[in-house]
Amino acid sequence: MSAVSSDLLILNQWHNASIQEHIDRVINDLLVSFPCAEQLSADQRRGIIARYTTVLEGNFIYWMTGAYLSVRSEEARSIILGNLREEVRDCHPGMLRKFAMAAHAVPTDSDALGVYQNLSKVRLFIGRLSPIPILVMMTFFEGFIQRFMAYLAEVAERQGSAEQEYTEVHGVCDVAHTQELFRALEAEMMLACEPVENLFEGVDLLQTLIRNIGDASIGKIRSQAEN
C-alpha cells in the first residue's frame, strides 16, 4: 500500500469511529424515547407495531437497493448484495407481516398517514443516490433495528402474540449486518474525492420518521397523565 493510500485509510478509520459513535448516540436517544412497554394500552401497542410495519415492510429492501445503486466500490456492492440476498431469500417482509398479524397490528390507513410525510422525505433522500450518506443511514437503520427487537418483542408478547421469528432473526443477524455496512462505508470513503456535505442527512430524516412510530403513543400517555 502506498503512503498516500495508507494515510487515507487511517483518516477514514478515524471518520468511521466518529460516525459509529454518533450513530450509537442517536440510537440510544431513540430507544429511550419509546414509552415502557408495560405502560402501553392495547391500542398504543397495536399502533407501535403497525407503524413499525408500515415503515419497514415495503421500504427496507427498496432503500437497501438504493444503497446498492449508489455505491461505486466492488466491496460495498458485494456487501449490500449479500444483505439483499438474505432479505429476499428468507422473505423478511413476509416474516414482518406474520409478526404484525399475530399481534393484531396489521397497518391501517391511519397508520400509513401517520408516517406518510416523514417517510416521503426519506424516499426522496434515497432517490438522490448519494452513496456515503445513504450507507451511513442504512448502517444506522440496521443498528437501530437490532437494538429495538427486544422492545418490539415485548410489545408483541403483551398483545398476546407468540410469533417471534422476526424479532429473533433481526436481533441476531443485524449485528453482523451493521459491521459489514461499516466496512462498505469505509470502502466508499476510500473512493470519495471530495468531502460529503451532510453525512448525517439520512440519519436525521430516518430518526424523525422512527420517532413517528412511537409518537402517537407518547402523546396519549402524556395526555392520560395530565388528566
- Which residue number, 113 or 172, has a Cβ lying nearer to Fe ion? 172
Distance CA 202, CA 209 (A): 10
In this structure, the dihedral spanned by the alpha carbons of residues 143, 149, 150 and 153, taken in order and rounded to 10 degrees, is 170
Q: Which stretch binds Fe ion (CB under 5 A): 18-26, 77-85, 87-95, 188-196?
A: 87-95
Separation CA 88–CA 204 (nearest Å):
27
Task: Report if residue 46 touches Fe ion, rule: CB under 5 A.
Answer: no
Binding residues for Fe ion, total number by CB under 5 A: 1
Of 97 and 220, the one with the shorter C-beta distance to Fe ion is 97
CB of 144 to Fe ion, least distance (A): 12
199 or 206: CB nearest Fe ion: 206
**Stretches 86-94, 121-129, 132-140, 177-185: which one binds Fe ion (CB under 5 A)?**
86-94
Are 76 and 135 contacting, i.e. CB atoms less than 8 angstroms apart?
Answer: yes
What element of type H or E holds 181? Answer: helix 165-191
CA 167 vs CA 4, 103, 108, 127: distances in Å: 44, 12, 21, 29
CB of 196 to Fe ion, least distance (A): 26
Q: Which stretch binds Fe ion (CB under 5 A): 8-16, 90-98, 110-118, 204-212?
A: 90-98
Q: Is 92 in the site for Fe ion (CB under 5 A)?
A: yes
| Region near Fe ion per CB under 5 A, out of 44-52, 92-100, 111-119, 217-225 | 92-100
Q: Enter the C-alpha cell of residue 23.
A: 450513530
Question: Distance between CA 33 and CA 44 in Å, rounded?
Answer: 14
In the bound state, the residue with its beta carbon closest to Fe ion is: 92
Give me the residues that bind Fe ion (CB under 5 A), please.
Answer: 92
